[in-house]
Chains A and B, each alone.
Chain A
Amino acid sequence: MVRKNKGYITLFLLPTVVLFIVVYAVSIVILFGTSFTEWSSGRKPVFIGLANYIQLFTDDSDFRKSFLNTGLWVLLQSTIHVAIGTAFAIILNMKEFYWKFARTVYMFPNIISGAAVGMLFLCMLNPDFGAVNSIVRLFGHADYAQNWFMDYTTAFFSVTMTWLPYAAVVTILILAEIAAIPESLFESARIDGASELKIIFYIILPMLRNIIGTCVILAGTSMLQKMDIIMMTTGGGPGNETMNLPIYIYKTALMENNFGYSNSVGVFLIGFGLVFVLLCRNLFRIGSSQN
């Protein structure tokens, strides 16, 4: 286009640039800058070099536990969660009579807010009247009934179960990708006498490499900001059993007013996420062409 558009280009970009600066750029500058300071609300930040980071790694068991939990949840989410979603997509793709219903219902826990999911499970797992304990008692195993979210042995598992099986987003993404595989590929495989299982393992799965890699990244990184369900159900407890990095950041920043320290955890969280994304991109060779 030959017209002079410079003014309009600026006009169209400016609001988004301002938004980006207000929400992201300023935050990142504050985050990095103050992570080297001792700073609590109402005071001026005082530069203390690497002291925050040194304390994080040498003398902070809550941080270690939060890091460990976050890592474990990222691992579970990027493996089991993605596997469940993928398996479900492959089954739904066979388009049997129930598939539309199953797909719709499967979306429910993924479309409502995390706070609501947390509330549902808080009710389901309530020690007094929750459905899970009631079923356990119904089968005469009253001694297995317990306070799932507040018991040290079951808390981590209970919290994990509020998101691990709900992989509808993975299912949708994989279904869309399977639909893009040319039908002729399946036909010729069938003519050659390939079984359903062989088609899945030798045709569908290899062609899904890129999208599965994307799902692993999306599912894994979603665990780097998981807060709503944990806040609703356990609040990170009992003790620090279900604490993760976001909850830890929230606690140190807004409950203990320890801003500098909390921001060093934030910097660590960003670094952790970058390493994870780079690792996945290499592992799944995302970006390179198929095969």
Chain B
Amino acid sequence: MKKGLGVLKYGFVLLIVLLSLGPFLWVLMASFKTNTEILNNSLGWPSSFRFSNYVMAFKIAPLSRFYINSVIVGIFGTLLNLLLLGMAGYVLARFQFRFKNLLMGAFSLSLLIPGAAMLQPLYLTVNTLGLYDKVIGLIIVYAGFGLPVSLYILSSYFLTIPKGMEESAYLDGASFIQTFFRIILPISKPGFGTAGVMQFLLCWNEFQFAIILTTGNQSRTLPLALYYFKSQFASDYGVMFAATMVVIVPSILVYILLQKQVVSGLAAGAVKG
């Protein structure tokens, strides 16, 4: 009985690890192969570790353009979201005022709206504002999508800060704005870190709005680069594999570096009822 349970346990873990790592390693290996090798020797090692597929991936597709766009959208989408939601979250966590419940209700309702339902209306709004096919359009939309999660993480963090901190700042003559930027922001770093990682991942991985709010290659982001490869280079497998790796590997490296922050972010992002 006990032994059987152990086998089941290890088998389960092994299967999970294999399912997670397998596709990734197989594509990594294939990214060094030539087209013939891929077709004839799909499971074996590449005959040599050549990087020509990677060079080609950057040459024939605007991969670097997609990269730059993703970095810009990721950084500014996150900064905008954190700044605005930090300010709003602070006020909502600390002060009583009219319409507060109404606002909180409206903000938390946004959590219940599946993004897909808003595809056409948002397309219309972005178009009307003249932001269609512009990186700034994506930045604003993503900052908005992160609203419920960031608000939840940040305001719960602000609630843990003792009120005495601000009161003594006021007594020392600091203004409201000074108190927020000089006292509250620095001590809330962990909260901002968590919300920031969540928000950055959202910006970095988003697909459905990126595809309807942009056209051509000028303002498209990395997830769309893969879509582009899928249709343009369907027969050039090695290049396709290399491009996939180029998109995936940085995410994984960043994850390994920021593991703690990501994990606590996911745990904090859970909306507890």
Contacts and interface: CB of A to CB of B under 8 A. Distances in A.
Interface of A: 1, 3, 5-6, 8-9, 12-13, 15-17, 19-20, 22-28, 30-31, 34, 84, 87-88, 91, 98, 101-102, 104-109, 111-116, 118-124, 128-131, 134-135, 138, 165-166, 169, 172-173, 176, 196-197, 210-211, 213-215, 217-218, 221, 224-225, 227-228, 231-232, 245-246, 249-250, 253-254, 259, 262-263, 266-267, 269-270, 273-274, 277, 281, 286-287
Contacts of B23: 109, 120-121, 123-124, 131
A109 B27 CA distance: 13
Contacts of A215: 270
B117 A267 contact: yes
Given A123-B240, A129-B42, A27 B122 contact: yes
Contacts of A249: 116-117, 119-120
A74 to B, nearest CB: 11
Given A214-B272, A249-B117, 19 more contacts: A1-B170, A15-B84, A16-B84, A19-B84, A24-B147, A105-B17, A107-B262, A112-B248, A114-B223, A123-B237, A123-B241, A166-B19, A213-B273, A214-B273, A227-B116, A231-B227, A249-B119, A253-B120, A266-B117
B17 A228 contact: no
Given A102-B13, A115-B223, A227 B90 contact: no
A291 to B, nearest CB: 16
Given A26-B121, A113-B223, A115-B223, A218 B270 contact: yes
Interface in B231-273: 237, 240-241, 244, 247-248, 251-252, 255-256, 259, 262-263, 266-267, 270-273
B97 to A, nearest CB: 5
Main secondary structure of the interface of B (DSSP, over half): helix
Given A98-B13, A116-B226, A16 B147 contact: yes
10 contacts: A3-B170, A23-B147, A88-B13, A98-B13, A101-B17, A130-B42, A210-B272, A254-B120, A254-B123, A273-B113
> Interface size class for chain B?
35 or more
A227 B207 contact: yes
A124 B144 CA distance: 35
B26 interface: yes
A155 B185 CA distance: 50
A210 B273 contact: yes
Main secondary structure of the interface of A (DSSP, over half): helix
B204 interface: yes
A113 B97 contact: no
Contacts of A26: 121, 125
Given A23-B122, A269-B117, A112 B205 contact: yes
Given A17-B103, A277-B112, A104 B259 contact: yes
Interface string B1-42: 000010001001100110111111011001000000011001
B159 to A, nearest CB: 15
Contacts of A22: 125, 129, 140, 144
B13 A91 contact: yes
Contact of A106 (B17, B42, B121, B125): B17
B97 A6 contact: yes
In the A-B complex, list the 3 residue pairs whose CB atoms are closest, starting with the nearest. Answer: A23-B144, A246-B116, A286-B273
B273 to A, nearest CB: 4
A19 B119 contact: no
B88 interface: yes
Nearest to B127: A41
B21 A113 contact: no
Contacts of A25: 106
Nearest to A23: B144
B20 A172 contact: no
B256 A120 contact: no
A107 B266 CA distance: 11
A39 B271 CA distance: 37
Contacts of A122: 230
B266 A169 contact: yes
B149 to A, nearest CB: 11
Nearest to A259: B120
B207 A114 contact: yes
Contacts of B177: 8
B251 A225 contact: no
A87 B5 CA distance: 13
